[in-house]
Chain A
Amino acid sequence: MNVLHFINSFFSDSAHWHGYDGIPTRMREHIQYSLIALAIAAAIGLPVGLLTGHTGRGGNSVAFVATAGRALPSFGLLVLMFVLLGLGLTPVMIPLVVLAVPPILVTTYEAVRSVDPSPVDAARGMGMAESRILFNVELPVALPLILSGLRSAAIQIVSTATIAAYVSLGGLGRYIVDGLYQRNYEKVVGGATLVAVLALVTLGIFWTVARFAVSPGVRRSS
């Protein structure tokens, strides 16, 4: 019995391919949790990171939030939220968002901070409004770094979203939690493999986005 064998038998069992506990359903749930968490984290991290990076003010607060966010254990937070809020999506989203905000916030802040000041100076000197400087001068140059922050946040979310299963929600974590409970290691390994595949797909998506969204003039120099 080895891992490959587990994987093989898990995926070749046709019962795993349909129904409410089938791979497509669990996959969809997992993706859904991940996307919601990433969207919320980005909605918090990006604007704050862009603004603090552009103005150069609030760097200390950014560092504090980042450290605090990283120090909180996701599982502990989940349990706490479960106790406070009961079952539901919210107690799952909170630890995922707390996990994802620091990488997004910190890399966005750093990315905008580290943009070469002379084009910014030139832009300001030619009468560009501040918002335009941020979005048309700083953002395109900072984009590769910002995307890398989003990417690591997304990967962390994808692998951590398995905790949803502990509070009776779905997702790929179901296989792992149930498998452990049933001592069905085939299921555990299968679930873990699916999570890994999803993480790789996430990597691929970000790579593709970067190819198309980042200007060739910037891509070469980063």
Chain B
Amino acid sequence: MEAGARGCDFARLPQNYCNTIGLDSPPNGPLDRGHRADGLCQTRRVFGVLIRIDSVTKRYPDGTVAVDNLSLEIPDRSITVFVGPSGCGKTTTLRMINRMIEPSEGRILLDGKDLAQQPVNTLRRSMGYVIQNAGLFQHRTIVDNIATVPRLLGWSKDKARERARELMERVGLDGALAKRYPYQLSGGQQQRVGVARALAADPPVLLMDEPFSAVDPVVRKGLQDELLRIQAELGKTIVFVTHDIDEAVKIGTNVAVMRTGGHLAQFAPPAELLSNPADDFVEDFLGADRGIRRLSFFSTAGLGLLTTPIVAVDSTAEQITERSAGDVPYLLVTDVEGKPLGWSEPALLTAGAVDPARLLPYGRPFEHGKESLRAALDGAVLSPTGWAVAVGADGRVTGVVSQQTIGEAIRAAHAENGADGHTDGRTDGRTDAKVAG
């Protein structure tokens, strides 16, 4: 479901953005969108802006050089991830963007304007800020936590709360939690509140410092998917700090790998990072299975599917014989609706008497065209038959493919992208980047 939203076209959004906020909320929540007529959306750029870090060095009073002559450009409406070992200067870099820390040398430009020239609190209010343990105000209810920045901007209490409730929906929080206090929420829920609070005043920039590192892997995956969905809908410029390379590869449009001493080791889209690490440090940091992970960036759209070796559970003997023509080793049995049940050797299939319990498992089916070659390969490896099952969005089988065919597709993809090349756009496969890992 998140994957669908990611296809959202940014270019379509600007003109009607103000009206589209909350559009995907249930129609039974009659929202008075009056506050959007207050000029906030009209007078402020709600879309992300470009940030340029220009030869920035940060030297702490004790002499520690946390960031060393860093220059890079953070494109607007993208997710830029800073990743690297502990103490490499990620937090320092992030906090220089909202001037929680001032650079010792160099400057940072926001939409071409030097940050140092801008009033600091106004600047910060235009940047959402999310930190590791959410940092919620324990004396305020959830809705009042989220309403903080709108209130700072002078919105009325009612308007700010109404906006907060919209945001709760947007980040996937049950409205029933609105009147609770932070201690009554789980860590994952608190983190969602943190994200909602950062988004409340619709800032063009979102700064996130290890926002998901304190929650368990399942919740983290949910939060990551949610962030990608929100980013697709709202088009913010997100700067995200993590020490988890998998997270960086999954959510980053671009990834900045930093090394201890505050040096930038590589700045590239994740696919390029995986296919072409700049040096041994980056390669080491990426870990052992970067080849497999890279498959997340290759689409299954071009994968040739076989549609013959598939039979429904209620097939006649003739149909079974017809379908097993061409010496196929296995037939995929589906239920009457076309959903996969399992594999069987043709000889073991008796018309009208298929026992689903005796079929071989079919692994994890992949969504053809939508998921990556990594998901397809995963499916093939998981099934004892070595074949992967492709399904459509409705879960019905659209075809099957052998490991061998997937292998050919991988080689073709590599050839197409060049030995050291990279895919220009990522495929939707990145949302499943962690499934097989």
Contacts and interface: CB of A to CB of B under 8 A. Distances in A.
Interface residues of B, number: 33
Interface stretch (B75-83, B116-124, B244-252, B373-381): B116-124
A126 B152 contact: yes
B139 A126 contact: no
Interface stretch (A16-24, A53-61, A115-123, A155-163): A115-123
Interface in A117-151: 118-129, 132, 137, 140-141
A126 B131 CA distance: 11
A119 B144 CA distance: 14
Interface in B99-143: 100, 120-125, 127-129, 131-141
B135 A122 contact: yes
B129 A218 contact: no
A128 B138 contact: no
A121 B124 CA distance: 12
A121 B95 CA distance: 11
Given A126-B149, A215-B140, A221-B183, A121 B125 contact: no
B98 interface: yes
A217 B182 CA distance: 7
A76 interface: no
Nearest to B138: A217
Given A127-B122, A127-B124, A128-B121, A122 B129 contact: yes
Contacts of A214: 139
A28 B128 CA distance: 55
Nearest to B132: A118
B152 A125 contact: no
B149 A127 contact: yes
Contacts of B152: 126-128, 132
B333 interface: no
B207 interface: yes
A30 to B, nearest CB: 35
Contacts of A120: 135
A141 B139 contact: yes
Contacts of B141: 217
Given A119-B135, A119-B136, A137-B137, A125 B181 contact: no
The secondary structure that dominates the A interface is helix
A150 to B, nearest CB: 18
Contact of B131 (A122, A127, A132, A221): A122
A131 to B, nearest CB: 12
Contacts, number: 82
Given A125-B100, A126-B198, A127-B123, A217 B139 contact: yes
Nearest to A124: B100
B148 interface: yes
B361 to A, nearest CB: 46
A125 B124 contact: yes
Interface in A11-36: none
Contacts of A215: 138-140, 181
Interface in A66-103: none
A5 interface: no
A177 to B, nearest CB: 46
Contacts of A218: 138-139
A141 B100 CA distance: 23
Nearest to B142: A217
Contacts of A119: 135-138
Interface in A175-222: 214-218, 220-221
B360 to A, nearest CB: 52
Nearest to A119: B135
A211 to B, nearest CB: 14
Nearest to B149: A126
B139 to A, nearest CB: 4
Contact of A118 (B121, B133, B181, B198): B133
Interface in B135-170: 135-141, 148-149, 152
A11 B136 CA distance: 54
B139 A140 contact: yes
Most buried by A among B100, B129, B137, B141: B137
A140 B139 CA distance: 7
A118 B194 CA distance: 12
Contacts of A125: 95, 98, 100, 124, 127, 129, 131, 207
Nearest to A115: B138
Contacts of A216: 181
Interface in B57-110: 95, 98, 100
Q: Which of A116, A120, A141, A217: most chain B CB closer than 10 A? A: A217
Nearest to B141: A217
A119 B134 CA distance: 8
Contacts of B207: 125
Contacts of B139: 140-141, 214-215, 217-218
Interface string B345-361: 00000000000000000
A132 B120 CA distance: 15
Nearest to A132: B152
A57 to B, nearest CB: 15
Given A121-B131, A126-B152, 6 more contacts: A116-B135, A116-B138, A122-B135, A132-B152, A217-B182, A220-B183
14 contacts: A116-B135, A118-B132, A118-B135, A119-B136, A125-B129, A126-B124, A126-B128, A126-B152, A127-B120, A127-B122, A127-B123, A128-B121, A129-B121, A220-B183
Interface of B: 95, 98, 100, 120-125, 127-129, 131-141, 148-149, 152, 181-183, 194, 197-198, 207
